[in-house]
Amino acid sequence: MIDVKTADRELQYYIRPQTFPVAIRMLRPGEEIPEKARRPARDFKKLSMNCQVIDMARRYGWMIALTREDHICSLGIAALGFEKPTHLHNSGTLCEGMYTETKSAGQRSEAAVDKFAPGEYSTLLVAPLDRTQFEPHLVCIYANPAQVMRLTQAALWKRGGKITSSFGGRIDCSEIIVTTMRTDQPQVILPCSGDRIFGQTQDHEMAFTIPWSQMEEVVEGLKGTHNGGIRYPITQFMEYEAKLPPKYMEASRIWEVEHGRAHFTNRDRVVAAYRRSFADRVPVYPIVASFAGTLDGLSIEEYCTNVPKAIKAMMNYYERYQPDVVLAYNDLAKEAEAFGCRVKYSDYVVPSIDQHVLHEDKSKLAKLVMPDPYKTARLPGFLEQCEALVKAKPPTAIGAVAVGPWTIAMLLRNPETMLLDTFEDPQFIHDLMRVATDFCKLWGDAIAKTGIGLSFSEPTASISLISPDNYRDFVAPYHKELVDYFKAKKVGVTTHICGTTYPIYEDLLRCGFTTVSFDLDQQADPALYVDQLARFMEVSKGRAVAIGNVDATKFERSTKEAMVADVRRCIDAAARHSAFILSTSCEIPPRSDAEIVKWFMDAAREYGRYERIFDGAEPAVPTA
């Protein structure tokens, strides 16, 4: 049997590689690491990865042992079996948008990667071949294409035929180590992007692997082909801890959480949804306004008018339920009130407008005074709520709910009267929408200035109330103008529309909303009913984040089984796509049952675990 020094000498003579051939051995758990082997975490005070240590061995001539504790690359860790692949691997998320167009294509790419079983090996050991003190499993030679050609010819000297290798353009450390050991055949290696970025592999380089059991045959082939007339010829800094692509680091963070060394905050889950990725579970919150007040013993009017009490109530609600999103939200009447409308309060339902300033005389539009966000009616108090929520710094996503221009216009005029205006005086509607949209810009600027997220609620833009053509003629142009205005200021805009909305999904997406929150379809005929969440995921294809849509009416009276079933419906429809936040179909009633809210949150946290969704682990059975 050939020895390592002879093998290295023959390779240097016939191939003349620019860097040392590398001996590679995988150590099983309990197998001793050579005393002289360098350890990245211990000796360099930095973490490393497969391609990096192979490059150190071939350029520096070092023997290096890489264990899980030395490793940073989530792709290489999974390939060598140092950890089991996460749901970010299995769902195709680590490929999507970088190597593949979709998650499903990414899943196929991940499935094609050869991997060792988790725990099968514990250490990757590499060293320059001529100084190797161990028997390698294989030898890897980095070379230019002509040198790889010579090695291919040598491997076929005795057997003839062709060498079969496959290429994925990513995770070439799997092909170098796992594929070669599994097949016990030489492999032509196409270095991947990571090897070129972090392993410093050059544009002109390829690689070739030889199982140690076939080294003698390959050397004999080099001599034979050389004698037959086929001949050849026809240091960089490595001590760094790489900054990997964010999705790869997300996978590493999942391992950190699993091992108890880190945790996901509420806000982390929401941010992951906006990045079209996944944390540990689906982010969840109910749309809450006056319920926070009644939970604190306040009347609905107190909650909507007493700012300090409202702030305290919302924070108490957060502490009780720990939702992933907390809203600055009192009611949808304050904007119309600031224009001169009168608000009616109730002990059981949300505030409403009972006197519309333009109902009797639309000519008053010309005399309307633009409200001042910092002085008029309850607007300054709402800004105070926003500032208090930002100052409190809960570990959640935080947002403010303002009213959009169409609903403001309807409340100023009166919904029934304004629907007649769409036929009788469309120009008046455009004039009114001009005023309402200009106010929304002014109001939105004041809200965004507090540092909170911005949402415009448009309950009356529902296709249950107006036609799709009405939306396109009278609403969409102003929605797009509003979204574009804030996009120029780097502020994303969310919208919520009540009732049936699926006929205008494409219109909403063209307006540019970053997030769309929607209700349940209000069609009475079961044969025509549409699951609006499932339809939105089909239509949007990740272009906007979806929020919805557990039935808000269930929060006053429901069974635990019915609530869990509705949560499961939403998660089954949308969670695999990411870009999804589980919430309610609308604001939950002010007098909602506090225990039902807990059922909702508990079901979401259990059934919404991504490990269950992608790995097939069933949720715990809810207790009675």
pLDDT (tens digit per residue) in 151-175: 999 999 999 999 999 999 999 999 9
Sequence letter at residue 624: A
Same domain flag for 409 and 370: yes
* Helix (H) or strand (E) segment spanning residue 281: none
Q: List the structure tokens of 523.
A: 């069609």
CA 342, 401, 568: angle at the middle one, nearest 5? Answer: 125
Phi-psi group of 499: left, alpha or beta (phi > 0 → left; psi -120 to 50 → alpha; rest → beta): left
Q: Where does a domain end: 186, 214, 247?
A: 247
Q: Where are the alpha helices (DSSP H) in 370-424?
A: 379-392, 405-413, 415-424
The DSSP call for residue 96 is B
In a domain, 163, yes or no: yes
- C-alpha 317/C-alpha 597 separation (Å) is 11
Task: State residue 348's pLDDT score.
Answer: 86
Residue whose pair of structure tokens reads 């635990």 in the numeric block: 560
Looking at the fold, whether 379 and 489 belong to one and the same domain comes out as yes
Is 622 part of any domain? Answer: no
Q: Which residues pair with 143 in a beta bridge?
A: 206
Of 530, 521, 537, whose CA–CA distance to 580 is shortest? 537
Task: Kindly report, residue by residue over 423-475, the tens digit of the pLDDT.
Answer: 999 999 999 999 999 999 999 999 999 999 999 999 999 998 999 999 999 99
Euclidean distance between CA atoms 212 and 219, whole angstroms: 11
- Do 176 and 299 belong together in one domain? no
Q: Are residues 52 and 91 in the same domain?
A: yes
Helical packing angle, 594-607 and 560-574, nearest 10°: 40
- Considering the domain boundaries, does residue 275 fall inside one? yes
pLDDT of residue 278: 94
Residue 620 in any domain: the answer is: no
- Supply the CATH number for residue 478's domain: 3.20.20.210
Residue 257 counted as domain residue? no
348 and 482 assigned to the same domain: yes
Residue 341 three-state SS: coil
pLDDT at position 618: 59
Residues 17 and 11 sit within 8 Å (Cβ to Cβ): yes
* End-to-end Cα spacing for the chain: 70
Based on the fold, state whether residues 227 and 278 are members of the same structural domain: no
Query: Which of 265, 293, 289 lies closest to 279, judged by CA?
Result: 265
Nearest one of 508, 515, 501 to 401, comparing CA atoms: 515
Tell me, what amino acid is at 93?
T
Task: Decide which of 213, 247, 281 is a domain's last residue.
Answer: 247
Residue numbers of the chain with a pLDDT score lower than 70: 235-236, 616-624
Q: How many CB atoms lie within 10 A of CB 480?
A: 16
Task: Name the phi and psi angles at 457, rounded to 5.
Answer: -85, 135
CA atoms within 13 A on the CB side of 528: 8
- In this predicted structure, what is the pLDDT of residue 246? 85
- Cα-to-chain-centroid distance, residue 50: 26
Phi, then psi, of 65 in degrees rounded to 5: -110, 125
Q: Is residue 25 part of a domain?
A: yes
Instruction: Give CA–CA dist 212/217, Å, rounded.
Output: 10
Domain C-terminal end among 221, 247, 273: 247
Based on the fold, state whether residues 242 and 272 are members of the same structural domain.
Answer: no
C-beta of residue 266 within 8 angstroms of C-beta of residue 54: no
| The pLDDT value given to residue 624 | 45
Specify the length of the chain in residues: 624
Backbone φ, ψ for residue 228 (5° rounding): -80, -5
Domain co-membership, 286 together with 344 = yes
In a domain, 255, yes or no: no
Judge whether 274 lies within some domain.
yes
The count of structural domains within the chain is 2
Residue 159 in 3-state DSSP?
coil
Residues 526 and 591 in one domain: yes
Q: 597 and 475: one domain? A: yes
Q: Give the rounded distance of the alpha carbon of 547 from its chain centre.
A: 14
Which of 62, 93, 57 has its CA nearest to residue 75? 93
- Cα–Cα distance measured from residue 44 to residue 551, given in angstroms and rounded to the nearest whole number: 56
One-letter amino acid of 555: F
State whether 570 and 505 are in the same domain: yes
User: Is there a single domain that holds both residue 322 and residue 415?
Assistant: yes
Q: Residue 89 sits in which domain range?
A: 4-247
Token reading at 293: 């007040």
Q: In what order do the strands lie in the sheet with 206-211?
A: 64-67, 123-128, 22-27, 138-143, 206-211, 187-189
